[in-house]
Structure 1
Amino acid sequence: MPGGRLTQQDRRRIAAGLTDGLSYREIARRLDRPTSTITREIARNGGPTGYRPQQAHQDTIQRARRGTPAPPHAATAQIATMEQEIIEMMVTAGMPRTAARVHHDLVLSEDGRRTAAELIRRLNVSPASISVAVNYLVQHGYARRERDPRRRRDVYVIDNDAWYHSILISRRQSLEMVRATMAMAESFGLDSPVRERLTKTASFLEHFSLDMIESADRWRTLLK
């Protein structure tokens, strides 16, 4: 029943959704539950890579019998829930899940730096997955790659300017889209409604991109 306690079948469906790579939002939609319920359930019971439906169900029953609805380390569980919610927001915005997890882990690191080995160990994912995720983050300006000459390995870094650089990259991509759209518009006749539509789209993207970079430049001092 929507809004009630999760059943054992619900937890099996959550596990199946995680295996299939579904977002928390999609799992929640399929179970007709709030996304926060799914986020909290997974965070309390091993996270996305360690969730076991049978164990989660048994632990929930035990907590209910003891009269303790939250796990012993409630603060830690609350932080984990908030972290998962942030990652889900990034995934919903279009970032691949592993890239979102890597980005979040870099943000929370003391000096904003991790090696590939550290990321593999901390996130419990394959070297190939880390490589793909880091390449995505570097390509979109969310992180940068540095070389450690003493140990001959790459170090992945996130700093205060990361979001600024990601905006610059997004602006460049938008302007490339403007040029492509304008070129396509010119291939249609002057009175063509398609030409008018494409021209207006290109004009909107161009002005929006210029406003975006002006705003980023104006407020960049907040990152210093």
Structure 2
Amino acid sequence: MPGGRLTQRERQHIAAGLAGKLSYAEIARRLDRPTSTISREIARNGGPGGYRPQQAQLATVQRAQRGTPAPPRAAEAPGGTMEEEIIELAVRSGLPRMTARVHVDLLLSEDGRRTAAELTRRLKVSPASVSVAVNFLVEHGYVRRERDPLRRRDIYVVDDDAWYHSIVISSRQTLEAAQASTAAVQTYGPESPVGQRLAKVGAFLEQVSLDMLESADRCRRLLA
């Protein structure tokens, strides 16, 4: 694995990867660099929405000439490393990185509440990026949207009950997939290899989703 500072060519590859909606991990894999190197580089130089390879290269050269260290990331502040680890776990579980960043910022806020403007300012990203992320989180039950009637703005809230709703939504989506698999059995024939396979998949997914719904209802009291 190569070490040392990133080259201008590598920074151009990073910009191309961001434009192509690649994850930090995929960009790092293609450059044979640690994912932490890529995430640190992007965070230092405008974030995913404002990264410019030429400016990043120039900033690195200027820092080297001054002999001063690069400004620390927010993730390097006390508790920041843990925040980054939580984001990486969320990304590995399937959340888009920007969505994971928004979710974790909400989770770690004092009262679990942020406006879109606060998220945009804190994460140093565009309002459009925040909008896409919070819409995903609301749709999947991780966050709920409240309206501030006085200032005519949305407030995004993550509370204890959000975990229950996210599991219920996910389980119902799995149940829909189970029902679709079961319905497709008749199309291919219950005695055909495909029909038998679909029947097994449908039965499995249905049982798992029903068990999850039952478990969520039974354990919801732990969130009270």
Letter in 2 for 1:139: E
Say if 2:61 is the partner of 1:58.
yes
> Is residue 115–residue 155 contact of structure 1 (8 Å, CA) maintained in 2?
yes
- How many residues align? The count is 219
Helix, strand or coil for the counterpart of 1:5? Answer: coil
Q: Scaled by the length of structure 2, what TM-score is found? A: 0.79
Letter in 2 for 1:95: L
- In 2 relative to 1, CA 50–191 (structure 1 residues): closer, same or farther, beyond 3 Å? closer
Helix, strand or coil for the counterpart of 1:98? Answer: helix
- In 2 relative to 1, CA 72–38 (structure 1 residues): closer, same or farther, beyond 3 Å? closer
Aligned counterpart, 1:110:
110
Q: C-alpha displacement at 1:139, in angstroms?
A: 0.8
Tell me, which stretches of 5 or more residues in structure 2 are unaligned? none
The within-5 A match list for 1:109-148 is 109-148=109-148
Please give the alpha-carbon distance, in whole angstroms, between the structure 2 residues aligned to 1:134 and 1:74.
23
Q: Scaled by the length of structure 1, what TM-score is found? A: 0.79
- In 2 relative to 1, CA 122–107 (structure 1 residues): closer, same or farther, beyond 3 Å? same
1:113-160 Cα distance to aligned partner (Å, 9 max, x none): 112222233334444443332221111001001122233322111112
RMSD (CA atoms): 3.0
Say if 2:87 is the partner of 1:87.
yes
Identity between Structure 1 and Structure 2 (%): 63
Please give the alpha-carbon distance, in whole angstroms, between the structure 1 residues aligned to 2:2 and 2:65.
21
> Is residue 39–residue 84 contact of structure 1 (8 Å, CA) maintained in 2?
no
1:29-70 Cα distance to aligned partner (Å, 9 max, x none): 11112323323443455543454431453267469x67x7xx
> Is residue 28–residue 38 contact of structure 2 (8 Å, CA) maintained in 1?
yes
> Is residue 186–residue 195 contact of structure 1 (8 Å, CA) maintained in 2?
yes
Letter in 2 for 1:93: S
Aligned counterpart, 1:48:
48
Q: C-alpha displacement at 1:23, in angstroms?
A: 0.8
Please give the alpha-carbon distance, in whole angstroms, between the structure 2 residues aligned to 1:50 and 1:131.
17
Helix, strand or coil for the counterpart of 1:161? Answer: helix
Helix, strand or coil for the counterpart of 2:155? Answer: strand
Helix, strand or coil for the counterpart of 1:187? Answer: helix
Please give the alpha-carbon distance, in whole angstroms, between the structure 1 residues aligned to 2:49 and 2:201.
42
